[in-house]
Structures are given as C-alpha cells and as structure tokens.
Amino acid sequence: MRFLLPAVIAAFGVVYIFFIPPEPVGLKIFMKLIPMVLIIGYAALRPRGMSASYKPIVMAGLFICAVADGVIYWFIAGLVTFLIGHLFYITAFRKASVRPMPWSAGAALLVFGIVMAAVVALPLLLDGNLLGAAVIAYMIVILMMGWTAVRTANPYAIAGALLFILSDSILAIDRFTVPIPGRDAFVMVPYYAAQFLIASSIGFSPGQKTDPRLT
C-alpha cells in the first residue's frame, strides 16, 4: 500500500506528459493538476517528523504550486504564484536547518545563478524587456530555496529543490533563449519528481539515512 500512491502519481504524470494533447486547454490543465493533487494527498499522509510546523508549511507550498500550475498559461500570474510557493518552501527549510551551508554547494548555486542570469535575463534586459528583472527576482528566490534546502541535510528536500531549479531553468531557456525539443518532458519530469521529493521530505529526521516507510 505504501508504494501504491507513488505509483499512481507516476502513472498520471506519464499520462499528462506524454499522452495529453495541447488542446483543449481545459483538459490539459485538469490532467496537469491530478498528479499535484495526489502529491498533496501523499504529503498529508506523511508523519510530522521533528518539526511540528514543517509539514503544514510544505503542504501550503504544494497547494500554492498546484494553483500556479493552473494559472501558468498566464505567464506572469503563474510566475508570481510559483514565487509565493517557493517562499513557503524557503520558510519550511529554514525551520528545518541543521547545518551551515557547505561552501562548495553555495559556490555551485552562485555560479549557476550567474550563468543563468547571463544566458536568460541579461539579453532580455539589453532589449529593454522588463521580464528580465522578473526572471532575476525569480531566480534569486529559487536559488534561496535550494540554499535553504541544502542546510536541512534532508536528502529528499535537497534533491527536490535541485530538480525544481533544473525544471525552471529548462523552462526559462526554452521560453527566452532557444526552443528545446521535447520541452514538456524535460520540464515536467523533474518538476513532478521535485514536488514528490519535497513532499517526501516531511517526516525525515536528521541522522536518518532512509525513509523508514520505504524500507
């Protein structure tokens, strides 16, 4: 039973990514939301863990990201909503922080942010497109999410945050720099995996090597 819900989440994710056509948009949005609703349900079933506030804050972030999935077709509305979701994740990860930031991880995130700003945001700003500023603001927030996730020493939170950064980076490159063939799969596979892993981070305790519910 403990593997059933993750399997159902994966199945609906595969159906959405590979089998649902772009039109009609209403069906596309509906099918996109099903995996997120299931992930929220999965998070609700997780044990609270050491921090009583971590679980409700992460669940709030998951819910807001699900709303963002529904409004992302209106790009700015989706961008702002996802940004709010990341702020909830940042808050949760900060509450669960147990170690200082390793310098190597911090340097890697910083270099990645600089490269993405140069590749995606700078050309927009040079063209006078104010979306460049919005992209930089969003990148700062999502890198902060990655930064705070690393400080939790929670492998699920860390992997989820890094996959979220990967997904959003691919989406940004495709939208603003160069079209990426097969974009939907390259964006949505790490996105759903990220949200599932962040949900799985609920109930993890420092020093715990694996999730006892998965062994």
Query: What is the structure's pLDDT at 12?
Result: 98
Mean local confidence (pLDDT), 132-136: 95
Quick: pLDDT tens for 115-124: 999 999 999 9
pLDDT of residue 51: 80
| Digit-coded pLDDT (tens) for 66-90 | 999 999 889 899 999 999 999 999 9
* Percent of the chain surpassing pLDDT 70: 94
Q: What is the pLDDT of residue 214?
A: 46
CA 105 to chain CA centroid, nearest Å = 18
What's the pLDDT tens digit per position in 157-194? 999 999 999 999 999 999 999 999 999 999 999 999 99
Cα(183)–Cα(148) distance, rounded to whole angstroms?
Answer: 28
> How far apart are alpha carbons 82 and 138 in whole angstroms?
9
Whether the full predicted model's pTM is greater than 0.85, yes or no, is yes
Residue 212, pLDDT score? 47
Residue 24: asked if its preceding bond is cis (omega within 30°), the reply is yes
Whether 205 has a pLDDT exceeding 80, the answer reads no
Neighbours of 62 (CB within 10 A): 25
Q: Which of 57, 54, 77 is nearest to 67 (CA)?
A: 77
DSSP codes of every residue in 10-67: HHHHHHHHHH--S-SHHHHHHHHHHHHHHHHHHHHHS---S-TTHHHHHHHHHHHHHH
Location of structure tokens 């609920």: 202
